[in-house]
A and B are shown apart, each in its own frame.
Chain A
Amino acid sequence: MKDLAQHALNVAEVAGATYADIRIINDESERVEVKDGQVGSINRGTSGGFGIRVIVNGAWGFASSPKIDKAEIERVARLAVKVAKASALLKVRDLELAPVEKYIDKYVTPHKKNPLEVPLEEKIALLLKTDAAMRQVKGVNITESRIAGWVEDQLFASTIGSVIEQRIVQCGGGYTATAVKDGDVQYRSYPCSHGGQWESNGYEMIEGLDFAGNAGRTAEEAVALLSADQCPSGEKDIIIEGSQLSLQIHESVGHPLELDRVFGSEANYAGTSFATTDNLDKLKYGSDIVNISSDPTCPMGLGSYGYDDEGVKTHKADLIKNGLLVNYLSSRETARVIGKNSTGAMRADGWGNMPIVRITCINLEPGTKSTEQIISETDDGIYMASNKSFSIDDRRSNFQFGTEIAWEIKKGKLGRMLKNATYTGFTPQFWNACDAIAGPKDWKIWGTANCGKGEPGQLARTAQGCAPSRFRKIKVGVVPGKK
């Protein structure tokens, strides 16, 4: 494979490329689903191929193919050069890249049990046991659970001499109980919504989740929500649980700080950003206690890896320091424009796509108090947990989130359960309203398995670390017409 990779780079250079890189990838995946006491589906997938990226006449070209042999690699390398020449017809200036060191290295995600080597029978048994525990709860109508795993083997080589081999092992899963009555549908998920929890980790993470042990409580909460009170409308102090806050960070910090979208590359699809580069080192993004960094070296994060897809070695980089915007998620091309080095956020969905700037692991540093202490210091508020809906404008400013469940907080104590909880706000105002972040004991890294961006559409797996946090005077209960 290394010889083929080197051959591709040689062909591209001979055809006119001033820079080229190639990623040869084999992806394997497995997904097991159980629904209503039955195995719903099992799918084991493999996908192999390579993608070649070149710069010719100061512009990018990219071509890919699933057929990995010498003749095809030559054809695709020449095709990438042809594509780049077409790109150059419209260029305003030659593109420039921030410097990167040459690496010859191997990286493997830390893990004990390869999820694809754990017997299917074991996964099916766990899911059926969990499903049965949910279905024992009276009033539950639909039960769904799943476990999935991915293993990506990648060889990266570039014309600066880097040869990097990586194996990224990821897995996760979760389940949902749905209760339906009198025109109302309520559901609860474990350990979090949108499929569950996902990590760059081995199957041991599934074993640590105690699927079956949490199934009864999860199902009982789904049924209880049917008769819970509606979330009130007004301004409230809200405490946001970790998995919901993870998505808040993803949408209102991760995406607006992707430097390619700041520069307008996503203007036709994923949108732009309010956090334009004139705000760098000036914008008070959040309160003084808000510190957020990009850290793909973070253990177990779904956005953890050794090198990004243009050969940049991963490292921690501050994005928001004491509430101030200090950097962006960047690639070699975008970082160069602001005079910085890449934060190593260039990632592609598999072998067939060109890398774009993506969220890595972006982590909100923990505070000092416990979640219980923060609740006890809240006079009139709402504790919201598990995302149900998420929507944010194309500049990543105005957002509306809904959660599966919430509880009223009165005089420092959790009270009645609330359903259909929603909150809304504007990104900088919201983060400036953050006045308490729970400590390391309550801090956890949450995975997002299906982040969409780019045209053609690409999926990325990202992570956000955080602990439950409090935000003062947030508008809640914003959906009209709900009974």
Chain B
Amino acid sequence: MLIDKNQAHDICKRALSFAKEGQAEVILTQTASPLTRIANNTIHQNVETSDIDISLRVDLEGRSGRATTNQFDDESLKELARRSVNAARAITSKQELPPMMGPQQYREIPAFDQSSAFMEPEQRAEMVLKAVKLARQEKVELAGLVNNTLYATAMANSNGLFAYHNMSTLRMELTARSGITAGRFAQTARKAGEIDPEKIAAIAIKKCLGGLNAKALEPGDYTVILEPEAVTTPLMFLSYLSFGALAVQENLSCLSGKIGQKLMGGNITISDDAYNPLAVWAEPFDSEGMPRKKVMIIEKGVARGPVYDLKTAAKDRTETTGHGLPQPNTYGPMPRNLILEGGNASLEDMIKSTKRGVLVTRFWYNRVVDRKIPVITGMTRDGTFLIEDGKVSCGVKNMRFNQDLVEFFNNVETLGVPESQENMVVPPLKVNNFHFTGLTEA
């Protein structure tokens, strides 16, 4: 059952009515995420879950308290307000608090579709059945999931601001396995009919079978061709390590002191844009109720600037870009919909143009090794192949990398056609001198 705009407005209004002191703000979030999970060609976990959270912030003369609950009867909301006020009162010195804004105008993002919002467990089971049938024919085992998500969020405050947005998605991920060899493919779509279980299974199975008897490569610097799911990894790390204004202000970001300077390759343009039609998971406002703006972060390799919330914008005497998290917080703003501008090349073109390189499906267990540069480590997984003389020649064992991300975006040789990766839009990339530093056993 979706909480619609009117119902959300009523709940927010009721929550605010119990906060009788200072200024108050309420954020409501509804998530229903039924999921069918498979392993070894059978369903091993099948769940119907849903929840609604209400978070209330109360500001009392420079002191801010927040409380959350998932119960929204009057008694629970009264208690919510009492806890928020008590938290604010417990603070002995003033905080630097961003102001609560008045009503805003939002650009609509059509992100809801009945077909993905509401699915029966039998429909998900049918999708799995189609995939498993192929897997059994090829004598491989599938693991993965089918997950339809319904999401609604609303925000209101005592200055008259009210915002509401809803969305839905359907995601299918499949990993085909034969012994220790695996291949993977995943898709997310707004409309259920846009997901093709047999296509996803066929790609995952092909990768798995193509990777059998993988050979070990010597660690070293390689040209890599990254499929879009792999490209999300370096972007995701830049997103939270470097592209928010607080990280820049604290001198922790690779953008710190570099705004206006050439930082990455001239072929790299990165923006944050919730309105890109390929961004499946996108909202028109942030957790301060501010409209999201398109922000140019890297333009033809030149650092243009981070994303802002109200607090960091005030410090830099600029305007928020609508990328705030619930306030007050210690993390600062963060991009939500990174768009890496692409080119015209197909993945096949990139493979053809490569004398010797490594094709990567995705990266796994990626972590920060050095905060500032930044350097991250991780491993390839679920389909890693050697390219020789313009062709995929064989599967190779997964490898560990340690990679400077600024160097990475200076070494991009070719960009392919961008595609949707949930909240991001990214192309496949061909990148030179990628640092593989070790081997794994699979």
User: What is the interface of chain A, defined by CB distance below 8 A to chain B?
Assistant: 33, 35, 38-49, 51, 59-66, 76, 79-80, 82-87, 89-92, 119-121, 124-125, 128, 141-142, 144, 178, 180, 183-185, 187, 263-268, 271-272, 274, 352-354, 356, 388-395, 397-398, 400, 402, 420, 422, 424, 426, 455-456, 478-482
What are 16 pairs between A and B in contact, CB < 8 Å?
A44-B84, A45-B67, A45-B68, A47-B68, A62-B47, A62-B49, A87-B125, A89-B129, A92-B41, A142-B250, A185-B252, A185-B372, A268-B173, A393-B365, A400-B400, A422-B369
Q: Are A393's CB and B48's CB within 8 A? A: no
Contact B35 A456 (CB under 8 A): yes
Question: Do A66 and B51 touch across chains, with their CB atoms under 8 A apart?
Answer: yes
Partner of B45, one of A60, A80, A128: A60
**Given known A-B contacts A39-B93, A47-B69, A352 and B174 have beta carbons under 8 A apart:** no
List residues 41-97 of chain B with CB under 8 A from any CB of chain A.
41-53, 55, 63-71, 76, 83-84, 86-88, 90-93, 95-96
For B115-156 the 0/1 string (1 means CB < 8 A from A) is: 000001110110011001000000001011101000000000
Would you give the shortest CB distance from A179 to chain B, in whole angstroms? 11
Give the distance in Å from the alpha carbon of A268 to the alpha carbon of B51 in the complex.
25
B residues in contact (CB < 8 Å) with A? 33, 35-53, 55, 63-71, 76, 83-84, 86-88, 90-93, 95-96, 120-122, 124-125, 128-129, 132, 141, 143-145, 147, 173-175, 177, 180, 182, 184, 250-252, 328-330, 364-373, 375, 377-379, 381, 398, 400, 402, 404, 407, 435, 437-442
Contact of B95 among A39, A43, A45 (CB under 8 A): A39
**CB of B71, distance to nearest CB on chain A (Å):** 6
Are A40 and B328 in touch, CB under 8 angstroms? yes
Q: Is the CB of B372 within 8 A of A59?
A: no
Residues from chain B with a CB closer than 8 A to the CB of A263 are: 39-40
Are A48 and B367 in contact, with the CB atoms below 8 A? no
Q: Chain B residues near A83 (CB, 8 Å)?
A: 46-48, 121
In the complex, what distance in Å separates the CA atom of A187 from the CA atom of B404?
A: 19
Cβ distance B316 to chain A, nearest Cβ, rounded Å: 17
> CA A51 – CA B67 in complex, angstroms?
24
A301 to B238, CA, bound (A): 35
Complex Cα spacing A149 to B71, Å = 20
Contact B36 A391 (CB under 8 A): no
B267 to chain A, nearest CB (A): 22
A352 — which chain B residues lie within 8 A by C-beta? 49, 51
Contacts of B64 in A (CB 8 A): 41-42
If A274-B441, A400-B438 touch, does A89 touch B125 (CB 8 Å cutoff)? yes
**A180 contacts B250, CB within 8 Å?**
yes
Task: Known contacts A41-B66, A180-B252; decide if A91 and B42 are in contact (CB<8 Å).
Answer: yes
Minimum CB distance partner of A478 in chain B: B437
Q: Are B182 and A86 in contact (CB under 8 A)?
A: no
Q: Inside 8 A of B124's CB, which chain A residues have their CB?
A: 86
| Residue contact A144 to B330, C-beta cutoff 8 Å | yes
Q: What residues of chain A lie closer than 8 Å to B251, measured between beta carbons?
A: 141, 180
Binding site secondary structure of chain B: strand
B256 to chain A, nearest CB (A): 9
**In whole Å, how far is B253's beta carbon from the nearest beta carbon of chain A?**
10
**Which residues from B are CB-within-8-Å of A480?**
402, 435, 437
Q: By the criterion CB–CB under 8 Å, are A44 and B87 in contact?
A: yes
Name the contact of A398 in the complex, choosing from B48, B129, B400 (C-beta under 8 A): B400
Shortest CB distance A203–B (Å)? 15
Query: Which residues of the other chain, A, contact B83 by a CB distance below 8 angstroms?
Result: 44
Instruction: Contact check, B40 vs A389: say whether CB atoms are below 8 A apart.
Output: no
- Whether the pair B375, A183 counts as a contact (CB closer than 8 A) is no
Q: Which residue of A lies closest to B40 (CB)?
A: A264
Contacts of A124 in B (CB 8 A): 90-92
The answer to whether A41 touches B90 (Cβ under 8 A) is no
Chain A neighbourhood of B53, CB < 8 A: 47
Task: Report which of A44, A66, A79 forms a contact with B71, defined as CB distance below 8 A.
Answer: A66
Q: Which of A35, A43, A76, A80 contacts B66 (CB 8 A)?
A: A43
Known: A391-B367, A393-B442. A90 touches B43 (CB 8 A): yes
Q: Which of A39, A142, A426 contacts B441 (CB 8 A)?
A: A426
Cβ B87 vs Cβ A391 within 8 A: no
Smallest Cβ-Cβ distance to B87: which chain A residue? A42
Determine the distance from Cα of A391 to Cα of B366 in the docked complex, in whole angstroms: 7
Docked complex Cα distance between A76 and B404 (Å): 49
> Within 8 Å CB of B141, what residues of A?
264, 267
CB distance from A159 to the nearest CB of B (A): 19
Most buried by B among A41, A46, A92, A479: A41
Query: Min CB distance, B199 to chain A, in Å?
Result: 17
Q: Which of chain B's residues have a CB closer than 8 A to the CB of A40?
A: 328-330
Contact of A35 among B44, B48, B76, B330 (CB under 8 A): B330
User: A86, B125: Cβ atoms under 8 Å?
Assistant: yes
Distance from A418 Cβ to chain B, minimum over Cβ atoms (Å): 15
CB neighbours of B398 from chain A (8 A): 393-394
Contact indicator B67/A394 (Cβ below 8 Å): no
CA distance A47 to B440 in the complex (A): 41
Shortest beta-carbon distance from A151 to chain B in Å = 14
Whether A455 lies near B145 (C-beta < 8 A) is yes
B175–A38 CB distance below 8 A: no
Contacts A62-B46, A394-B379 known; 10 new A-B pairs at CB < 8 A: A46-B67, A59-B46, A61-B46, A86-B121, A125-B92, A356-B45, A388-B369, A398-B441, A455-B35, A481-B435
CB distance from B130 to the nearest CB of A (A): 11
Contact A90 B438 (CB under 8 A): no
CA distance in complex: A89, B124 (Å): 11
Q: How far is the CA of A96 from the CA of B141 in the complex (A)?
A: 21
A221 to B83: give the CA distance in the assembly, Å: 38
Choose among B43, B93, B367, B378 the residue that contacts A86 (Cβ–Cβ < 8 A): B43
User: Which residue of A35, A63, A393, A479 is within 8 Å of B379 (Cβ)?
Assistant: A393
Closest to A37 in B: B93
B132 nearest CB neighbor, chain A only: A90
Partner of A267, one of B39, B49, B55: B39
Ranked 3 nearest A-B pairs via Cβ: A267-B143, A86-B121, A120-B90
Question: Which of A42, A65, A271 lies at the interface centre, i.e. has the most chain B CB atoms within 10 A of its CB?
Answer: A42
Docked complex Cα distance between A352 and B48 (Å): 9
Complexed CA–CA distance, A268 and B185 (Å): 10
Give the interface centre of A48, A268, A389, A424 by most chain B CB atoms within 10 Å. Answer: A268
How far is A51 from B48 in the complex, measured between Cα atoms in Å? 10
Question: Hey, which chain A residues are within 8 Å of B400, CB to CB?
Answer: 391, 393, 398, 400, 424
B63: chain A residues at CB < 8 Å are 39
Contacts of A400 in B (CB 8 A): 377, 400, 402, 438
> Closest residue of chain B to A92, judged by CB?
B42
